[in-house]
């Protein structure tokens, strides 16, 4: 395939990294598997003379990653130069693979499904891989930044603790506060749409309330609702209410005068127009608020737990384990929170695609 200018530059850097790594590996008397990898990387410069499949780059990236993972436990000090050059080569080959795969999918030479999922998967795995190699190869103290393998082992060893914290923070505080905050914002938006007085008076006040810092309102909510999950749910309500209110009001105004005049010619009243025209037109705005609030809710609940909570919860665990220097457990909690928030966001996005299938952005994304 013809390479773009960016792909050519990446290919040159990958080949040069292979050549430099070969020289460094010979000087360090490295393992033959390193020599073979670097030699294969250097030979990829022949792509400018003969055609080379993108899967070759993917295979080289995978092979180099496997070599690094296998060899890392053998280093008791900072890894030698050829290891870092191997890391650079693996990154370049994976980057080139992603670029070529994306270019081929966009050009219609390869199907978007399921290959479209490969791109974010490879990119995410490469970030974790670089994190692993850098922390272990540079002998970074685990109290500063533990490698992903250590975090994964801590997750496996702390499943009961992590599950109890997940139930306390996400299931009880986040989901309940999210439902109440988004539901209240939606209902108030309907009332604001019906009343010009509320539109002029309530929205500025809502803007003021939304600017209040979570750190400021969390202790107050703890004093009002106690140390258990209701106070955290109250914080979630406070941070999710206004985004839903503003987006719903904006969405209700999305329908034009022509569409509304057409509904009037059909003798439709306010509620019929709302249900058949204005709410469907507002759905992209509503789901936008739901997706924004899915992350705000989790952040708000975790931050609120820093200011008083029972001996369970993600925020409580993070604050206490940092003081004990159990950084691997802190990162395990962060990983659980990140996965929970990502899955929550993905579920809302899937529902959005099913509900707003008619919207141009969804239709364009499907083709």
**pLDDT score recorded for residue 338:** 94
Full-model pTM? 0.82
Mean pLDDT, residues 74-95 taken together: 86
Is the separation of the CB atoms in 312 and 165 below 8 Å? yes
The answer on pLDDT for 363 being more than 90 is no
CA dist 330 and 335 (Å) reads 9
How many helical (H) and strand (E) elements, i.e. helices and strands, does the chain have? 17, 0
**pLDDT score recorded for residue 360:** 66
Quick one: which of 162, 132, 125 has its CA closest to 147? Answer: 132
- Grouping H, G, I as helix, E, B as strand and the rest as coil, residue 157 is helix
Copy the structure tokens of residue 318: 């993070």
For the segment 292-333, what is each residue's pLDDT rounded down to a tens digit? 999 999 999 999 888 877 788 899 899 999 888 889 999 999
**pLDDT score recorded for residue 87:** 93
Q: Which residue has the higher pLDDT, 261 or 179?
A: 179
State the distance between the two ends of the chain, measured CA to CA, in whole angstroms: 23
Copy the structure tokens of residue 85: 């050059």
Tell me, letter by letter, the H, E, C secondary structure of 247-316.
HHHHHHCCCCHHHHHHHHHCCCCHHHHHHHHHHHHHHHHHHHHHHHHHHHHHHHHHHHHHHCCCCCCHHH
- φ, ψ dihedrals at 121, nearest 5°: -65, -45
The answer on pLDDT for 245 being more than 80 is yes
The answer on pLDDT for 42 being more than 60 is yes
**pLDDT score recorded for residue 367:** 41
**pLDDT score recorded for residue 74:** 61
Mean pLDDT, residues 193-210 taken together: 76
């Amino acid at each position: 395939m013809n390479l773009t200018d960016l792909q050519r530059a990446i290919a040159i850097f990958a080949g040069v990294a292979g050549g430099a790594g070969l020289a460094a590996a010979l000087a360090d008397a490295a393992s033959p598997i390193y020599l073979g990898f670097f030699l294969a990387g250097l030979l990829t410069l022949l792509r400018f003379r003969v055609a080379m499949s993108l899967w070759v780059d993917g295979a080289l990236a995978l092979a180099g990653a496997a070599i690094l993972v296998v060899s890392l436990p053998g280093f008791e000090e900072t890894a030698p130069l050829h290891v870092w050059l191997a890391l650079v080569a693996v990154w370049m080959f994976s980057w080139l693979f992603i670029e070529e795969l994306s270019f081929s999918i966009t050009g219609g030479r390869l199907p978007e499904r399921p290959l479209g999922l490969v791109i974010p998967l490879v990119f995410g795995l490469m970030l974790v891989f670089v994190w692993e190699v850098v922390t272990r190869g540079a002998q970074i103290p685990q109290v500063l930044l533990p490698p992903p393998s250590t975090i994964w082992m801590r997750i496996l060893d702390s499943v009961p603790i992590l599950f109890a914290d997940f139930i306390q923070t996400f299931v009880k505080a986040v989901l309940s506060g999210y439902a109440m905050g988004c539901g209240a914002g939606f209902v108030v938006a309907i009332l604001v749409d019906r009343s010009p007085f509320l539109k002029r008076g309530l929205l500025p006040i809502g803007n003021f309330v939304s600017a209040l810092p979570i750190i400021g309102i969390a202790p107050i909510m703890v004093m009002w609702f106690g140390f258990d999950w209701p106070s955290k749910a109250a914080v979630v309500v406070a941070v999710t209410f206004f985004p839903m209110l503003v987006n719903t009001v904006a969405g209700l105004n999305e329908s034009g005068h022509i569409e509304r005049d057409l509904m009037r010619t059909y003798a439709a009243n306010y509620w019929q127009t709302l249900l058949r025209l204005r709410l469907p037109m507002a759905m992209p705005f509503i789901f936008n608020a739901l997706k924004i609030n899915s992350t705000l809710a989790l952040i708000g609940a975790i931050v609120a737990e820093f200011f008083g909570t029972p001996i369970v919860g993600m925020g409580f665990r993070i604050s206490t384990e940092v003081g004990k220097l159990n950084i691997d457990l802190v990162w395990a909690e962060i990983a659980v929170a990140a996965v929970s928030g990502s899955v929550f966001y993905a579920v809302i996005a899937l529902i959005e695609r099913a509900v707003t299938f008619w919207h141009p952005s969804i239709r364009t994304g499907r083709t």
